[in-house]
């Protein structure tokens, strides 16, 4: 093999994955660590990488504390309600109290935030007059086509080096001290070179997982997944394999979106005031709620009062009504746009909303002659996704900040956003139990991690790190194995993609998607699973893992796909373990446990954690206590 | 195939290869021009379309649900700070949109912290991030804490 080994040594802070979370880390790390060596390893090109590569038309997490709009605890209560109680409220509070300062910086750097003409008189400050245009209580509207390149600039200026096109395959562990991180390895997806990053701390800002459940699309359209196709679950696989404790991995999310294009509905519901109806023009949600109330309990859905009050209904429960109505034969569900789109301003907002963040939906409507001014477009519920920055909270079990979490042993072990592996921090999808962070909240988590990582180093916690040559060499052989497997196996057959000795990345991915769909509650089974199915799923994942030892790559691009597949597989395994452990149906509309069809607060008002033994691959599952933010006066 | 490249417009400069988040825009060895090698891993994110200096890349919607005969074209202009879209429907109707992409000259407002004064030890040991607390509320108020907001964390079942 002619690939070079390129070693980057003496790094203080290594940022793995520079989406919104990782860029926040690189920026903030320089503020607190003026003389520290800060290095970014990014799978794509930092200017257009991560979930925000395409742009965004809204920032979904902004408190507006400067105008007294919300307090951080209001957002925590909102997230708690939306996630059926399952939130790390210390982390959520911490994110919410800082997030506005990130958004103000974005505006300073040139991100165009829309202003509300009705609130033009609102205060001054140095970043422009007038209050931001609200889409909803937490969302503000932006012209965000260049959100990512603008924010990337802040990371590039402040990092010592930015390595683009590095697929990080593994974290390095310290050979001197048990359970301490020591860097990462991977390969350049263009040159093929092997990259070794020796670092005192690692902040993982990699992405969650699209494409682990079989998508609704059958061909090219598989690329039009809701979460980016390049989100390969590295946020989870890297951590699980390093032995970090994970949390809430069962909490996959299903999105109700415009059909096929998966164009977002937030601006439509909140700003354009469009609404849904079934194929026959009827409102359908409320009729499913009385039975659903029995399933989840009155505290989570109060049919009589909640539906008519302004308290939002949890997203999963609205999904449940959608799915039930379609299964009852009254689909498709339509978004009623024809009323709102008669207003030219709202029509423009509706289109620009897609052009700014989901161009594919505009392409689809153009192709099918759908002008929402004259036609009410169809909606659908997506295949499930596993992630931790949008409206769900999969990720690693992290320490909270001392002033909030300091008195709770389970929530605090010294450094904010540090995982259960020393020196390993996270941001965005990697941090568990912190839903509703979105872009601005992920950036904020990256900042919090970076400050804590600097402190960890200054406290001497990273002294004496040692990475043996053996570890580097072993990983290297592992990284390139799919190329060797191909070279050897290819000689056995005349040609084509079918071999008895190896499996290529795409068929491997399809096998993963099919089994996750059928056994872990995907779209073809209407999100239903049970203990028996999940146990079969675990067995099949084990066999798939054996076969992935024989995954083959024809070239460096396929080597990238091979490693993405391995990361997706590890993520899936953890998802199935968690789904099996939580014996209840906590989020109807995201998935159902047929053997436990009720929400069960007596036994499951807890967060779930898992730990995978690095040597044996065995999982240990645990329940962790839920602490809620309550009034000081509350007994 | 989501994105595709017009033979006569592409000169093989590789801007699309540099920017593609999915690593699917490659240079074809025979024709020395760009090609989308993996359409089912294309998000139609338009990063390559926007980066192409010759308008050589276009998008044809995903074949499993999008009929032929449409186009969504874009020109992103960093100098002017705008993005212009032209949508053509299958039936020939057209829509045009223009939006700002930035309010400042590129990169001009990003601070390089190496040139700025060190934060104090007091700041280091606090819960504050860079430029806080001023940057949160733009007033003299401090960071929200459990104490300042009259809160505590309590184990149990709360809704």
Is B153 contained in some domain? no
Same domain membership, residue B58 and residue B77 = no
Residues 98-157 of chain B with CB under 8 A from chain A are 99-114, 118-119, 124, 127, 129-132, 135-139, 143-146, 149-157
What is the phi/psi pair of residue A241, to 5°?
A: -70, -25
Is B91 contained in some domain? yes
What is the C-alpha radius of gyration for chain A, rounded to an integer number of angstroms?
Answer: 24
Of the candidates A74, A63, A57, the one whose C-alpha atom is nearest the C-alpha of residue A131 is A63
Of the candidates A622, A25, A613, A587, the one whose C-alpha atom is nearest the C-alpha of residue A313 is A587
Among the partner-chain residues A49, A105, A220, the one whose CB lies closest to the CB of B62 is A220
User: What span, in angstroms and rounded, lies between the C-alpha atoms of A499 and A286?
Assistant: 53
**3-class DSSP state for residue A563?**
helix
What pLDDT score was predicted for residue A2?
A: 84
Q: Report CB contact under 8 Å: B23, A48.
A: no
Q: Report CB contact under 8 Å: A403, B114.
A: no
More confident of the two residues A124 and B69: B69
Q: Cα distance from A615 to chain B (closest Cα, Å)?
A: 33
Domain boundary among A339, A366, A381: A381
Q: Which tokens go with A396?
A: 């690693």
| Nearest residue in B to A28, CA atom | B130
**3-class DSSP state for residue A309?**
coil
User: What span, in angstroms and rounded, lies between the C-alpha atoms of B140 and A273?
Assistant: 37
Q: Report CB contact under 8 Å: A260, B100.
A: no
Q: Which tokens go with A622?
A: 């645990």
Is A611 contained in some domain? no
Cα pseudo-dihedral A577, A436, A16, B121, rounded to 10: -120
Cα-based angle A580, A433, B41 (whole degrees, multiple of 5): 75
User: What span, in angstroms and rounded, lies between the C-alpha atoms of A499 and A439?
Assistant: 43
Same domain membership, residue B100 and residue B124 = no
Is B33 contained in some domain? yes
Whether A316 and A84 have beta carbons less than 8 Å apart is answered as yes
What pLDDT score was predicted for residue B1?
A: 57
What is the phi/psi pair of residue B126, to 5°?
A: -90, 180
Same domain membership, residue B52 and residue B12 = yes
User: What span, in angstroms and rounded, lies between the C-alpha atoms of A221 and A364?
Assistant: 11
Same domain membership, residue B104 and residue B131 = no
What is the phi/psi pair of residue A115, to 5°?
A: -110, 150
Crossing angle for the helix pair A315-327 and A285-296, nearest 10 degrees?
Answer: 120
CATH of the domain at A508: 1.20.58.100
CATH of the domain at A375: 3.90.700.10
Calculate what percentage of chain A has a pLDDT beyond 90. Answer: 93
How many structural domains comprise chain A?
2
Whether A588 and A316 have beta carbons less than 8 Å apart is answered as yes
Is B150 contained in some domain? no
User: What span, in angstroms and rounded, lies between the C-alpha atoms of A590 and A152?
Assistant: 33
Strand partners, A166: A188
**3-class DSSP state for residue A147?**
helix
For an interface test with A, which of B35, B48, B58, B101 has the most A Cβ atoms less than 10 Å from its Cβ?
A: B101
Q: Cα distance from B122 to chain A (closest Cα, Å)?
A: 12
Against a cut of 0.90, is the pTM above it?
yes
User: What span, in angstroms and rounded, lies between the C-alpha atoms of A4 and A527?
Assistant: 46
Q: How many CA atoms lie within 13 A of A311 on its CB side?
A: 19
Strand partners, A59: A140
Domain boundary among A381, A402, A425: A381
Q: Name, in order, each residue with C-beta under 8 angstroms of A400's C-beta and a sequence gap of 6 or more.
A: A88, A90, A91, A94, A408, A411, A412, A416
Residue A208's Cβ-count burial label (10 Å; 0-12, 13-18, 19+) is: buried
Residues in chain A where the model's pLDDT stays below 70? 1, 122-129, 306-310
Is A543 contained in some domain? yes
| List B11, B21, B32, B43, catalytic entry | B43
Among the partner-chain residues A28, A157, A631, the one whose CB lies closest to the CB of B130 is A28
Secondary element (H or E) of residue A485 = helix A469-490
Is A496 contained in some domain? yes
Q: Report CB contact under 8 Å: A628, B63.
A: no
Is B78 contained in some domain? yes
A153 interaction partners in chain B (CB closer than 8 Å): 106-107, 110
Of the candidates B54, B51, B93, the one whose C-alpha atom is nearest the C-alpha of residue B72 is B93
What pLDDT score was predicted for residue A227?
A: 97
Q: Which domain holds residue B6?
A: 1-66
Is A314 contained in some domain? yes
User: What span, in angstroms and rounded, lies between the C-alpha atoms of A579 and A386?
Assistant: 12
Same domain membership, residue B104 and residue B121 = no
Of the candidates A390, A54, A18, the one whose C-alpha atom is nearest the C-alpha of residue A234 is A18
Q: Cα distance from B152 to chain A (closest Cα, Å)?
A: 5
Q: Name, in order, each residue with C-beta under 8 angstroms of A309's C-beta and a sequence gap of 6 or more.
A: none
Q: Report CB contact under 8 Å: B151, A629.
A: yes
Same domain membership, residue B97 and residue B41 = no
A574-598 CB burial, b ≥16 within 10 A, e <16: bbbbbbbbbebbbbbbbbbbeebee
Same domain membership, residue B130 and residue B102 = no
Domain boundary among A352, A381, A410: A381
B87 shares contact with chain A (CB less than 8 Å) = yes
Q: Is there a catalytic annotation at residue B43?
A: yes
CATH of the domain at B45: 3.30.70.20
Is A575 contained in some domain? yes
How many structural domains comprise chain B?
3
Q: Report CB contact under 8 Å: A34, B47.
A: no
Q: Which domain holds residue A350?
A: 256-381
| Nearest residue in B to A83, CA atom | B159
Residue A528's Cβ-count burial label (10 Å; 0-12, 13-18, 19+) is: middle
**3-class DSSP state for residue A178?**
coil
Q: Report CB contact under 8 Å: A364, B154.
A: no
Of the candidates A106, A56, A142, the one whose C-alpha atom is nearest the C-alpha of residue A356 is A56
Between the alpha carbon of residue A109 and those of residues A395, B101, B106, B126, B139, the distances in Å are 30, 12, 9, 26, 20
| Local confidence band at B107 (pLDDT 50, 70, 90 cut-offs) | confident
Q: Cα distance from A95 to chain B (closest Cα, Å)?
A: 11
Among the partner-chain residues A223, A451, A633, the one whose CB lies closest to the CB of B42 is A223
Q: Report CB contact under 8 Å: A54, B66.
A: no
Strand partners, A196: A7, A185
Is A105 contained in some domain? no
Of the candidates A506, A455, A463, A446, the one whose C-alpha atom is nearest the C-alpha of residue A482 is A506
Same domain membership, residue B46 and residue B6 = yes
What is the phi/psi pair of residue A173, to 5°?
A: -110, 150
Is B51 contained in some domain? yes
- Mind giving me the DSSP string for A576-602? HHHHHHS-S-SSTTT-EETT--S--HH
Of the candidates A98, A96, A128, the one whose C-alpha atom is nearest the C-alpha of residue A113 is A128
Secondary element (H or E) of residue B157 = none
Q: Quick one: CA dihedral A44, A45, A50, A51, positive or negative?
A: negative
What pLDDT score was predicted for residue A125?
A: 47
Q: What is this model's ipTM? A: 0.97
User: What span, in angstroms and rounded, lies between the C-alpha atoms of A428 and A434?
Assistant: 9
More confident of the two residues B117 and A64: A64
What pLDDT score was predicted for residue A1?
A: 58
Distance, CA of A205 to chain centre: 10
Number of CB pairs, chain A paired with chain B, less than 8 A apart: 304
B3 shares contact with chain A (CB less than 8 Å) = no
Whether A332 and A344 have beta carbons less than 8 Å apart is answered as no
Q: Report CB contact under 8 Å: B153, A230.
A: no
Among the partner-chain residues A90, A109, A220, the one whose CB lies closest to the CB of B104 is A109
Between the alpha carbon of residue A307 and those of residues A80, A85, A342, the distances in Å are 18, 19, 28
Whether B49 and B57 have beta carbons less than 8 Å apart is answered as yes
Q: How many CA atoms lie within 13 A of A245 on its CB side?
A: 21
B118 interaction partners in chain A (CB closer than 8 Å): 34
Of the candidates A11, A537, A520, A43, the one whose C-alpha atom is nearest the C-alpha of residue A254 is A520
- Mind giving me the DSSP string for A203-258? EE----BSSSSPPS--SGGGG--SS-TT-BSHHHHHHHHTT--EE-TT--B--EEE
Cα-based angle A421, A423, A428 (whole degrees, multiple of 5): 85
Same domain membership, residue B30 and residue B2 = yes
Q: Quick one: CA dihedral B27, A229, A54, A426, positive or negative?
A: negative
A220 interaction partners in chain B (CB closer than 8 Å): 1-2, 39-40, 42, 62-64
A105 interaction partners in chain B (CB closer than 8 Å): 131, 135
A219 interaction partners in chain B (CB closer than 8 Å): 40, 62-64
A317-331 CB burial, b ≥16 within 10 A, e <16: bbbbbbbbbbeeeeb
What pLDDT score was predicted for residue A306?
A: 62
User: What span, in angstroms and rounded, lies between the C-alpha atoms of A44 and A95?
Assistant: 27
Q: Examine the pLDDT at B113 and tell me if it is beyond 70.
A: yes
Q: Report CB contact under 8 Å: A368, B47.
A: no
């Amino acid at each position: 093999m002619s690939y070079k080994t390129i070693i980057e040594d003496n790094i203080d802070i290594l940022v793995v994955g520079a989406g919104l979370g990782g860029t926040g880390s690189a920026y903030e790390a320089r503020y607190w660590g003026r003389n520290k060596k800060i290095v970014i390893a990014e799978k794509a090109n930092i200017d257009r990488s991560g979930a925000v590569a395409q742009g965004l038309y809204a920032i979904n997490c902004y408190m507006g504390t400067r105008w007294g709009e919300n307090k951080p605890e209001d957002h925590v209560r909102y997230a708690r309600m939306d996630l059926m109680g399952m939130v790390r409220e210390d982390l959520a509070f911490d994110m919410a109290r800082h997030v506005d300062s990130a958004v103000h910086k974005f505006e300073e750097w040139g991100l165009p935030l829309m202003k509300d003409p009705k609130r033009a008189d609102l205060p001054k400050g140095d970043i422009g007059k007038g209050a931001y245009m609200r889409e909803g209580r937490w969302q503000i509207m932006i012209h965000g086509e260049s959100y990512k390149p603008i924010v990337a600039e802040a990371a590039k200026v402040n990092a010592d080096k930015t390595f683009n096109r590095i697929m990080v395959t593994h974290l390095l562990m310290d050979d001197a001290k048990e359970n301490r991180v020591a860097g990462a390895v991977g390969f350049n997806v263009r040159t093929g070179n092997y990259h070794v990053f020796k670092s005192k701390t690692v902040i993982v800002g990699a992405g969650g997982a699209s494409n682990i459940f079989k998508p609704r699309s059958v061909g090219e359209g598989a690329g039009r997944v809701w979460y980016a196709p390049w989100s390969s679950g590295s946020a989870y696989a890297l951590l699980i394999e390093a032995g970090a404790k994970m949390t809430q991995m069962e909490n996959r999310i299903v999105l109700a979106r415009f059909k096929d294009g998966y164009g977002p509905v937030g601006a439509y519901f909140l700003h354009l005031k469009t609404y849904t109806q079934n194929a026959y023009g009827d409102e359908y949600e409320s009729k499913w709620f009385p039975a659903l109330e029995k399933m989840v309990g009155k505290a989570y859905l109060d049919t009589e009062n909640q539906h008519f009050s302004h308290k939002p209904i949890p997203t999963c429960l609205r999904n449940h009504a959608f799915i039930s109505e379609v299964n009852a034969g009254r689909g498709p569900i339509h978004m009623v746009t024809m009323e709102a789109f008669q207003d030219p301003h709202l029509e423009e907002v509706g289109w620009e909303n897609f052009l700014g963040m989901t161009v594919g939906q505009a392409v689809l409507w153009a192709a099918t002659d759908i002008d929402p001014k004259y036609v009410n477009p169809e909606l659908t519920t997506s295949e499930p996704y596993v992630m931790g920055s949008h409206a769900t909270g999969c990720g690693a079990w992290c320490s909270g900040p001392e002033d909030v979490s300091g008195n709770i042993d389970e929530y605090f072990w010294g450094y904010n956003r540090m995982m259960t592996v020393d020196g390993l921090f996270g941001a965005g999808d990697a941090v568990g139990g912190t839903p509703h962070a979105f872009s601005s909240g992920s950036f904020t988590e990256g900042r919090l991690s970076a400050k804590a990582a600097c402190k960890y180093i200054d406290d001497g916690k990273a002294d004496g790190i040692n990475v043996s040559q053996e570890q580097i060499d072993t990983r290297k052989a592992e990284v390139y194995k799919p190329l060797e497997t191909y070279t050897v196996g290819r000689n056995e057959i005349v040609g084509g993609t079918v071999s008895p000795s190896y499996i290529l990345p795409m068929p491997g991915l399809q096998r993963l998607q099919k089994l996750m769909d059928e056994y872990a509650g995907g779209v073809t089974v209407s999100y239903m699973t049970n203990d028996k199915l999940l146990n079969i799923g675990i067995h099949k994942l084990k066999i798939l893992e054996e076969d992935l030892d024989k995954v083959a790559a024809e070239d460096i691009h396929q080597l990238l796909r091979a490693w993405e597949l391995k990361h997706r597989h590890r993520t899936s395994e953890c998802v199935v373990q968690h789904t099996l452990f939580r014996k209840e149906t906590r989020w109807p509309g995201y998935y159902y446990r047929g053997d436990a069809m009720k929400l069960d607060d007596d036994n499951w008002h807890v967060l779930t954690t898992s730990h995978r033994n690095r040597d044996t691959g065995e999982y240990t599952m645990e329940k962790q206590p839920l602490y809620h933010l309550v009034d000081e006066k509350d007994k | 195939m989501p994105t595709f490249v017009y033979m006569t417009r592409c000169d093989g400069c590789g801007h699309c290869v540099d920017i593609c988040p999915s690593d699917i825009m490659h240079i074809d060895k025979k024709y020395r021009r760009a090609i989308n090698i993996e359409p089912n891993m294309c998000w139609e994110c338009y990063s390559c379309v926007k980066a192409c200096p010759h308008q050589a890349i276009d998008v044809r919607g995903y074949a499993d649900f999008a009929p032929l005969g449409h186009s969504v074209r874009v020109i992103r202009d960093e100098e002017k700070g705008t993005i212009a879209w032209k949508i053509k429907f299958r039936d020939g109707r057209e829509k045009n949109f223009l939006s700002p992409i930035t309010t400042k000259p590129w990169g001009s407002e990003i601070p390089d912290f190496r040139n700025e004064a060190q934060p104090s030890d007091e700041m280091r040991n606090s819960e504050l991030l860079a430029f806080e607390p001023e940057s949160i509320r733009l007033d003299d108020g401090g960071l929200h804490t459990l104490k300042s907001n009259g809160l505590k964390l309590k184990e149990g079942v709360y809704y």
